[in-house]
Amino acid sequence: MERELSLEFVRVTEAAALASGRFMGRGDKEAADQAAVDAMRSVFDTVNIDGTVVIGEGEMDEAPMLFIGEQVGSGTDPCVDIAVDPLEGTNLVARGLPNALSVVAIANRGCFLHAPDMYMDKIAVGPLARGCINLDDPVAENLGRVAGALKKEVVDVTAIVLDRPRHRHIIDAIRETGARVKMISDGDVAAAIAAAINNTGVDILFGIGGAPEGVIAAAAIKILGGEMQARLAPEDDEDLARIREMNIEDPGKLLLLEDLVKGDDIFFAATGITDGDMLSGVRYRGKTAETHSLVMRGVTGTIRNIYATHTLDKKPRFISDPFGYRDRGSI
C-alpha cells in the first residue's frame, strides 16, 4: 500500500469524529454512532482502494452500513481488508466522557483475524516491556516483570482495566501488589493503545473486552512496537459456533500479535472525538472545527500526529447530522 493513502485514511476518521462529536453529552449513543457510520462510509467511497470490511458494525442484517463483508472504496487497487470502529466509546460520547475515538485499521487481504463479535481476554504493553508479559501468568508476575523492564518499582506501575464486575479479581490482584489502577468505563481500544505509548501514564492493560476491538488495537500496538496477547472468551454455544464458522480451530488458543495481525503492511488512523489520554477531542469554532488525529504506517514505523482545521458550511451532507454541517476540507 502506498504511503499517500495514510492521509486518505485520516480523512475517514476525521469525518466520523466531526459528525459524531456534535452529540457529545446529549445522551443519545445510537444517534452519535449512526452519524459516525454515515460520515465514515461517505468518505471511504472517495478513497482509491478496493476494500472489504472484515471488522465492522456487525453482520449485514444487523448493520445498514459498514457491515462485515461490505465493499468500500472506489474499487481500484490495492485490495485491502478493513477493520473499523466509527465511534469507539458510544457511551463516552453520549455522557461527555474522555477517550472516545474514531478508528480504522487497514491491511492486505487475509492479514486480520476475523474476530467474531464476542469477548476477548487481553494483556498489552509498550515496546520497553515487550517480552515481559504472559496472559496465563498471575497478575503479580506480569507486573513485576513490566516494572523491571521499565526500571520502576511495582508501586509506580499503572495498570488500566475496564471497570466491570468480571474484573474484580484482576483489580484486587493489582492492588495487592501496590501497583496503581486506572479504571475506565468504556473504550478498551484507546486503553490498549495508551499502554503502548510512553507519555500516557499507562503501563499495562489487563482484562476482557470486545474481540473486534482487540484486533483493531493490535494493529496499532504492532506498529508501535509493543506486545499484546489475547484469547477468545466465548460465553455460550452460540459463540463457539460462530468461532467454528470463522475457521478458528482452537477457541482456547493463545493469540499473539502475529495471529491477530499478520505482516507489517498496516495502516492505523484514529481521530479524537472527546478529549483523552492520546488525542484531543473535536473543537467546534463556529464556521470551523479542529481535530487531532494519529496515523501510523507499519512498513516504516512512521507515527504522525495531525492537527487539522476544517472549514464548515451550512449545506447538509451527513444524513444523521441534525446540525446540517458539511466538512469542506482542511486548512
* Amino acid at residue number 157: V
State whether residue 255 is helix, strand or coil: strand
Buried (b) or exposed (e) across 272-297, using 16+ Cβ within 10 A?
A: bbbbbbbbbbbebeeeebbbbbbbbb
Over its C-alpha atoms, the chain yields an Rg (Å, rounded) of 19
Q: What are phi and psi of 264, to 5 degrees?
A: -115, -5
What are the start-end ranges of the H helices in the chain?
5-20, 29-44, 90-95, 139-149, 168-177, 188-194, 211-224, 237-245, 257-260
d(CA 309, CA 300): 27
Buried (b) or exposed (e) across 79-106, using 16+ Cβ within 10 A?
A: ebbbbbbbbbbbebbbbebbbbbbbbbb
Task: Name the nearest CA neighbour of 110 among 61, 54, 160.
Answer: 54
What are the pLDDT digits (tens) for 28-57? 999 999 999 999 999 999 999 999 999 988
Q: Is 257 left (phi over 0), alpha (psi -120 to 50) or beta?
A: alpha
Output the DSSP codes for 269-290: EEEESS--SS----EE-SSEEE
What are the pLDDT digits (tens) for 218-241? 999 999 999 999 999 999 988 888
pLDDT for residue 317 is more than 60: no
Which three cell numbers mark 97?
Answer: 466522557
Average pLDDT over the chain, rounded to an integer: 90
Strands 119-125 and 204-210 come out as: antiparallel
CA dihedral 247, 248, 251, 253 (to 10 degrees): 160
What are the pLDDT digits (tens) for 133-159? 999 999 999 999 999 999 999 999 999
More confident residue, 86 or 277: 86
d(CA 122, CA 136): 10
Which three cell numbers mark 170?
Answer: 484482576
Domains in the chain, CATH or no CATH each: 5-112+266-330 (3.30.540.10), 119-260 (3.40.190.90)
Output the DSSP codes for 4-26: THHHHHHHHHHHHHHHHGGGTTS
Burial class (CB in 10 A: 0-12, 13-18, 19+), 206: buried
d(CA 197, CA 35): 29
Q: 0.75 exceeded by the pTM?
A: yes
Q: Name the least confident of 116-125, 226-235, 241-250, 262-271.
A: 241-250
* Amino acid at residue number 189: V
Task: Name the nearest CA neighbour of 41 among 23, 15, 18.
Answer: 15
Q: What is the mean pLDDT of the segment spanning 304-310? A: 96
Question: What is the structure's pLDDT at 96?
Answer: 96
d(CA 94, CA 193): 22
CB 273 within 8 A of CB 87: yes
Reported as a pLDDT band with limits 50, 70 and 90, residue 326 is very low
